Structure 1
Amino acid sequence: MDKKSTWESPELLSKQVGLTLRRIRNERGISLQQLTELTEVSKLTLGKIERGEANPSLTIIWKIANGLNIPISSLLVEKREVQISRKNEGNKIMSTDKSLALEPMFSTSGYGSLETHRAFLKPNSEYKADAHQDGVIEYVTVMEGRVNVRVQREVYELDKYDSIQFNADQEHGYINPGSVPAVLHFVMIYTNS
């Protein structure tokens, strides 16, 4: 059964994120106000997300995941027994400035301690990531193009198939200095889950 991918249908993504967020909030017995305090996202915005009325940006998704101390794929990926992740068929979430599209690849059982993503970074662009929750280790491999990875103030140049590992609970970012899109593969391990 083929379903329209959510990057083509933001309303499908919004509904999925909203239902999942409400389920997690209810499982934990926390109110919208408490979720606001945990995530630093307004109660109005969280309410709209839960009702599927808002299409949250990657920044908002990260704030929610960090506040709940869960991988972002817990909000974005539908859970199934056997999964195949095909390029451009999964959920995709855009950064606010549209420089980066993140495509979670697989969900994990429960809220999991590991997640994988594909990311597509536009040419001549930069995506700045806030610090993730404590204990997140990020592994990034460049699959296409060239990318400079900034961790705090240090910049590391990566070519195709080069990889980097760093603690992602600090400010970091990705710079595509080239004229073609870059494709990245992310593995994030949540050591405090």
Structure 2
Amino acid sequence: MEVDDSKQIILQVGAALKKFRKEKNMSLEELAELTGVSKLTLGNIERGETNPTIAIIWRISKGLSLPFMALFKSEDPVCLYRAGEGLRFTSDHKNWIVEPIFKNASYDIEMYRAYLQPNSSYYPEGHHMNSTEIATVMTGAIEIHVNGEVYLLNQYDSISFRADSPHSYTNHTDSEAVLHISLKYGM
């Protein structure tokens, strides 16, 4: 995760995680078993001592049955999100960058701007059960694999699929690809 005000965001995520865990009457050990994230890492996140990756946050949100952005909810009545500014998450290999668009949106739908680096692939964690992912290529071309099928999307093409099924994104070009992604939760 890369942010201008990263320490504040890290503390916010930690406080939100602790709040949701306590609401579910769970110990750190129980949450660790449920999410596959170590107790030590979860404790460090709650105390704001570590900067979690996108994969870790997905595991936590799934384990708590919360939308991804619930840990970042904003109370501002008007939110402006400029490309390349503010909250950004990177994959472990730094080839996939995601910027939330409207982190205070309802818990049913989340919107993201995603950047896939040239000649690279991204294999996301499986998302929440019964969730739907809608991806639109804004620049470039992307190959999307869903349940063993391959779909080639060019600029402005869109695809919708069950996000809890295996899927991946591949950019075979020499230019960065930009996507808009919506995630609809079926909770």
Name the TM tier (shorter chain).
over 0.9
TM-superposed deviation, 1:79: 3.2
TM-superposed deviation, 1:6: 5.0
Q: Is contact 1:90-1:105 (8 Å) kept?
A: no
2:114 pairs, out of 116, 119, 144, with 119
Deviates more, 1:26-35 or 1:46-55: 26-35
What whole-Å deviation, never above 9, does each CA across 1:33-89 have from its counterpart, x for those lacking one? 221122111100000111111111111111011111111111235332121221122
Structure 2 counterpart SS, 1:47: helix
2: CA distance, partners of 1:144 / 1:158: 10
Q: Which residue of 2 aligns with 1:26?
A: 22
Structure 2 counterpart SS, 1:14: helix
Q: Which residue of 1 aligns with 2:158?
A: 163
Q: Is contact 1:139-1:188 (8 Å) kept?
A: yes
* Matching of residue 78 in structure 1 with residue 74 in structure 2: yes
2: CA distance, partners of 1:6 / 1:123: 20
Q: Is contact 1:16-1:76 (8 Å) kept?
A: yes
- State the identity %: 41
How many residues align? The count is: 187
2: CA distance, partners of 1:135 / 1:149: 19
2: CA distance, partners of 1:137 / 1:161: 19
User: Aligned-residue CA RMSD in angstroms?
Assistant: 1.8
Q: Is contact 2:88-2:98 (8 Å) kept?
A: yes
Please, which runs of 5 or more residues in structure 2 have no aligned partner?
A: none
Residues 148-187 of structure 1: matches in 2 within 5 Å?
A: 148-187=143-182
Distance 1:88 1:109, change over 3 A: closer
TM-superposed deviation, 1:180: 1.0
Please, what TM-score do these two structures have when normalized by structure 2? 0.92
2: CA distance, partners of 1:124 / 1:149: 14
Q: Is contact 1:76-1:104 (8 Å) kept?
A: no
Deviates more, 1:126-135 or 1:100-109: 100-109
Please, which runs of 5 or more residues in structure 1 have no aligned partner?
A: none
Letter in 2 for 1:83: C
Q: Which residue of 2 aligns with 1:55?
A: 51
- Structure 1 residue runs of 4+, over 6 Å off? none
Distance 1:109 1:29, change over 3 A: farther
2: CA distance, partners of 1:168 / 1:64: 16
1: CA distance, partners of 2:38 / 2:12: 19
Distance 1:52 1:20, change over 3 A: same
1:37 pairs, out of 4, 26, 33, with 33
